[in-house]
Amino acid sequence: MSPKRFAILASGNGSNAQALMESFRSGFIPAELGLVVTDQPNAGVIERARVMGYPLEIVERKKISREAHEACLLEILHMNGIEHILLAGYMRILSPFFLARFPGIVLNIHPSLLPEFPGLHAQAQQWHAGVRVAGATVHQVDEGMDTGAIVLQGSLQVRGDEDAEGLAERILTEVEHVIYARAVVILLERMQRGFDIR
């Protein structure tokens, strides 16, 4: 069986994308990373993909409709033989139009223990709520906001002496960068066992 072919979509700094690229490169994820895509021409992920030597496409949204942008994205993914997508800080919600046309799995990472604290600024939401345990979730993407089936979660104890930024940094480095690659491995194993994931 040919190895699965993935793309990473990221809009920002790209530290999760970096952790994923390293996991593909080392063989920890037994699959191919075929493409990195960003919608932001100044995103930090661009330099990270260049340094790692992975092909990169910039698909800007400027002056075109959301549908046209997503159609363009679908075309690029198809041309590159991409079967599955990993969203890593991709700041656009994929529409039902896109999800109905993309045949593979789409995973996302969200910095809270879903279904608690969906949406933006989840780390700050957790800190302000005074939770004792915070974390992150890798989940399948469906048409809702952070609602798809959970693949893997990781948590940490909130310290009494850290501010919201400190907590966000620890969620990112101690949880997100660790669980995303593991979630992909779990997904691949489920596929290999013949389970219908979608």
- Binding residues vs ligand GRF (CB under 6 A): 10, 12-17, 88-89, 109-111, 172, 176
Residue of 69, 78, 84, 110 marked catalytic: 110
Rank residues 41 and 103 by Cβ distance to ligand GRF and give the closer one.
41
Rounded to the nearest 10 degrees, the angle between the axes of helix 177-192 and helix 15-26 is 50
Q: Least separation, in Å, of the C-beta of 63 and ligand GRF?
A: 25
- Indicate the SS3 state at residue 198: coil
Among residues 107 and 188, whose Cβ is nearest to ligand GRF? Answer: 107
The CB-of-194 to ligand GRF minimum distance in angstroms stands at 30
Given a contact cutoff of 8 angstroms between Cβ atoms, the answer to whether 155 and 138 are in contact is no
Q: Which residues have C-beta within 8 Å of that of residue 71, sequence separation ≥ 6?
A: none
Nearer residue to ligand GRF within complex by CB, 79 or 149? 149
128 is an active site residue: no
CB 18 within 8 A of CB 43: no
List residues with catalytic annotation: 110
